[in-house]
């Protein structure tokens, strides 16, 4: 029975419920602020964003990102709230273009390749995963309050460029409650900028 699970998505009826549950677990792509998502060194502009999609669609080979000048890729992923990141899937080709290493950084918006000299929160040696089946668990304590995730892929298995078809992000999402901070600041010290904000967003007071 274990072998039956090795086929492509969508053909297996026996584990439909299990697949639905698993797909829901990998739903963090819905919480990405796509307007501000960046992929540095992508060959085709906007292609980096296409790898963040439903788990059930990970087998779609028409959507992928390929690096341009060398094998490095760097994703800057802002979320629409706070995320507790629990696991990552990275799916590529079964060849030299598959990334061989992944480094994760939290809450450093607008990272550049220069910034990747910093020590990552967590690094992974990747195995080739053409079917999107390998899950890399994160150290949850380090990724429990993430509003921005940077993913750096410094090298691959020997090809000139790196190709990624799908990146899955598993975890929990919590709505951001930034307006509460605004109110506290306002009470602590009257800041004219905060007054303006309250006039623009009167609904602030009704959000619990």
Task: Give residue-wise pLDDT tens across range 109-136.
Answer: 999 999 999 999 999 999 999 999 999 9
Give residue 23's pLDDT: 73
Quote the CA–CA distance of 136 and 116 in Å, as a whole number.
20
Quote the CA–CA distance of 70 and 54 in Å, as a whole number.
28
Give residue 190's pLDDT: 54
Give residue 184's pLDDT: 45
Give residue 81's pLDDT: 96
Q: What is the pTM of this model?
A: 0.77
Give residue 2's pLDDT: 44
Give residue 114's pLDDT: 97
Contacts 24+ apart (CB under 8 A), 136-141: 136/87, 136/88, 136/89, 136/90, 136/102, 137/86, 137/87, 138/85, 138/86, 138/87, 138/88, 138/104, 140/84, 140/85, 140/86
- Which portions of the chain are predicted below pLDDT 50? 1-13, 182-187, 195-208
The domain defined by 34-175 carries CATH number 3.40.190.10? no
Give residue 83's pLDDT: 96
End-to-end CA distance of the chain: 48
CB 71 within 8 A of CB 161: yes
Give residue 17's pLDDT: 76
């Amino acid at each position: 029975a274990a072998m039956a699970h090795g086929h492509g998505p969508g053909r297996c009826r026996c584990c439909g419920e299990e697949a639905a549950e698993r797909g829901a677990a990998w739903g963090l792509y819905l919480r990405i602020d796509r307007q501000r998502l960046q992929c540095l060194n992508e060959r085709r502009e906007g292609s980096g964003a296409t790898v963040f999609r439903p788990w059930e669609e990970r087998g779609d080979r028409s959507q992928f990102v390929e690096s341009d000048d060398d094998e490095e890729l760097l994703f800057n992923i802002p979320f629409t709230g706070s995320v507790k990141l629990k696991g990552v899937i990275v799916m590529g080709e079964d060849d030299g273009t598959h990334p061989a290493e992944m480094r994760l950084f939290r809450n450093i918006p607008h990272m550049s390749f220069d910034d990747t000299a910093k020590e990552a929160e967590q690094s992974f040696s990747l195995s080739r995963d053409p079917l999107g089946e390998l899950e890399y668990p994160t150290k949850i304590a380090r990724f429990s309050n993430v509003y921005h995730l940077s993913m750096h892929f410094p090298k691959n298995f020997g090809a000139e460029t790196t190709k990624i078809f799908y990146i899955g992000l598993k975890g929990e999402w919590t709505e951001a409650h930034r307006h509460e901070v605004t109110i506290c600041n306002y009470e602590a010290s009257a800041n004219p900028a905060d007054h303006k904000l309250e006039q623009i967003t009167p609904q602030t007071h009704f959000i619990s």
